[in-house]
Amino acid sequence: MSIPFIDLKAQFNTLEHEIREGIDRVLSHGKFVMGPEVAELEQALSDFAGVKYALTCSSGTDALLMPLMAWEIGAGDAVFTTPFTFIATAEVVSLLGATPVFVDIDERTFNIDPVELEKTVLRIRKEGNYQPKAVIPVDLFGLPADHQAIEDIARKHDLKVLDDAAQAFGAKYNGRRLGSFGNACSTSFFPAKPLGCYGDGGAVLTNDDKLADSIKSIRVHGQGSNKYDNVRIGINGRLDTIQAAILLPKLRVLAEELTKRQIVADEYSRSLTGIVEVPRVPENCTSAWAQYSILCDQRDSLRKFLNESGVPTAVYYEKPLHLQSAFKALGYRPGDLGVSESVSERVLSLPMHAYMNPDDQSKVTGAVRKHYESRS
Ligand SMILES: *Cc1c(COP(=O)(O)O)cnc(C)c1O
């Protein structure tokens, strides 16, 4: 019997009553689009994150797309981001006709390296082919990027900052939850994220009144004073009321679940230190632990051994974005972003969720230890 990689069922078992009640309520009132649960969720999300606006939307991808649209980013513009992330982070830049410029990561945090960021911004400015407009740091695996350093660089070079917190809603930087770092913060409610619904969903968080107004318009086809007054090109970017109803009880237990994830992560780190490289969390951060990702030698043979031992694993990410065929027109070659490339060969994510029991966890750590013992 294999243990689960992420156990959505265990969470459902504890919240089943509230979730079914919420869905039933929506079926009864019938306001399936922008119903009362959407407004209720937006209030609860903004309270939780300590930010003025939380605007829900149809996915984490649209949550990235809409602020860039609001800032009118397009052809001729450069948007800096990490290649060590999910495709959506950079895809939205290309969708708008702008150019993603990849910046290598810090091996210890898996997040964009601020020193490399500044160097790259200076290089792009000097080359003069693209206008630097924005940076999208990603809080990978739930760990906040180095927001203070990124903000300093962004201010100096007049860049907008869009924080991709798709994996990190609820994580803290300098004691504050993500949501208010940068000009806007995007998150995803894809089922496997730390706060997930039962389908697609996302949200944009911001303190910026003007940006919030633009996003409210963009997510309903660029509406003006009403739905049939269209003042800009927009999208159909709304969150379903049913998904909002599902997220409400899940948000109520999120803080508690984050504590449980932290306990699981602490136990992994305690028992795997010295055997593999365990994730490092800077002192001024907490992680939402979307993934617990190690760096290891013989990654593929460890992975095979774990799989045979009933321990599922995942590799995020096998191929950094600068080497994806989708971006081949950008002209990157192997070796261009060495840290991301080397990490993609050594990274491995272990089962992680808030409801993991100690027996399952010792099955994981025991199997990792056994693999390296049998080889030394
Ligand atoms: C999941 C994810 C997204 C996209 O979210 P969707 O809700 O699947 O559209 C964007 N960025 C990162 C880093 C992600 O992990």
Please report the pLDDT score of residue 244 as a whole number.
Answer: 98
Task: Please give the sequence-ordered ranges of beta strands (E in DSSP) within 225-271, or none if there are none.
Answer: none
* Token couple for 158: 């007049």
Q: In 3-state terms, what secondary structure has residue 349?
A: strand
164 lines ligand 1 (CB under 6 A): yes
Query: Residue 114: what are its φ and ψ, rounded to 5°?
Result: -60, -35
Any idea of the CA torsion for 261, 264, 270, 273, to the nearest 10 degrees? -80
pLDDT at 95 over 70: yes
Distance CA 60, CA 291 (A): 17
Span 278-326, pLDDT tens digits: 999 999 999 999 999 999 999 999 999 999 999 999 999 999 999 999 9
**Exposure b/e, 133-171, CB count within 10 A at least 16 = b:** bbbbbbbbbbbbbbbebbbebbeebebbbbbbbbbbbbb
Nearest CA to ligand 1 atom 6: 60
84 lines ligand 1 (CB under 6 A): no
Span 211-255, pLDDT tens digits: 999 999 999 999 999 889 999 999 999 999 999 999 999 999 999
C-beta separation of 58 from 202 below 8 A: yes
Q: Is the entire prediction scored with pTM above 0.95?
A: yes
Atom index in ligand 1 nearest the CA of residue 290 equals: 15
If phi > 0 it is left, if psi is from -120 to 50 it is alpha, else beta; for residue 222 that is left
pLDDT averaged over every residue in the chain: 97
Q: In 3-state terms, what secondary structure has residue 105?
A: strand
Nearest CA to ligand 1 atom 2: 166
Going by C-alpha positions, the residue among 143, 150, 156 that lies closest to residue 113 is 150
Expressed in angstroms and rounded, the spacing between residue 127 Cα and the centre of ligand 1 is: 31
What pLDDT band is residue 1 in, cutting at 50, 70 and 90?
Answer: confident
Expressed in angstroms and rounded, the spacing between residue 167 Cα and the centre of ligand 1 is: 7
- Environment class of 318 (CB within 10 Å of its CB; exposed 0-12, middle 13-18, buried 19+): exposed
Q: In 3-state terms, what secondary structure has residue 277?
A: strand
Please report the pLDDT score of residue 180 as a whole number.
Answer: 95
Please report the pLDDT score of residue 376 as a whole number.
Answer: 62
Going by C-alpha positions, the residue among 168, 158, 177, 172 that lies closest to residue 71 is 158
Please report the pLDDT score of residue 108 as a whole number.
Answer: 94
Span 31-47, pLDDT tens digits: 999 999 999 999 999 99
* Token couple for 17: 């009553």
56 lines ligand 1 (CB under 6 A): no
pLDDT at 77 over 70: yes
* Token couple for 257: 């679940």
Distance CA 183, CA 353 (A): 30
Q: At what angle do helices 254-272 and 358-373 cross, to 10 degrees?
A: 30
* Token couple for 311: 């321990």
What single-letter DSSP state applies at residue 330? G
Residue type, 51: V
Residue type, 310: G
pLDDT at 374 over 90: no
Please report the pLDDT score of residue 170 as a whole number.
Answer: 98
Atom index in ligand 1 nearest the CA of residue 167 equals: 15
pLDDT at 349 over 90: yes
86 lines ligand 1 (CB under 6 A): yes
Residue type, 210: K
What single-letter DSSP state applies at residue 230? B
Q: How far apart are the first and last CA of the chain?
A: 28
Expressed in angstroms and rounded, the spacing between residue 291 Cα and the centre of ligand 1 is: 13
Please report the pLDDT score of residue 98 as a whole number.
Answer: 98
Task: Please give the sequence-ordered ranges of beta strands (E in DSSP) within 150-219, or none if there are none.
Answer: 160-164, 172-173, 176-177, 184-188, 202-206
The H or E element spanning position 293 is strand 292-295
C-beta separation of 262 from 289 below 8 A: yes
Residue type, 227: K
Q: What is the mean pLDDT of residues 83-90?
A: 98
Going by C-alpha positions, the residue among 237, 153, 239 that lies closest to residue 196 is 239
Residues in the chain: 376
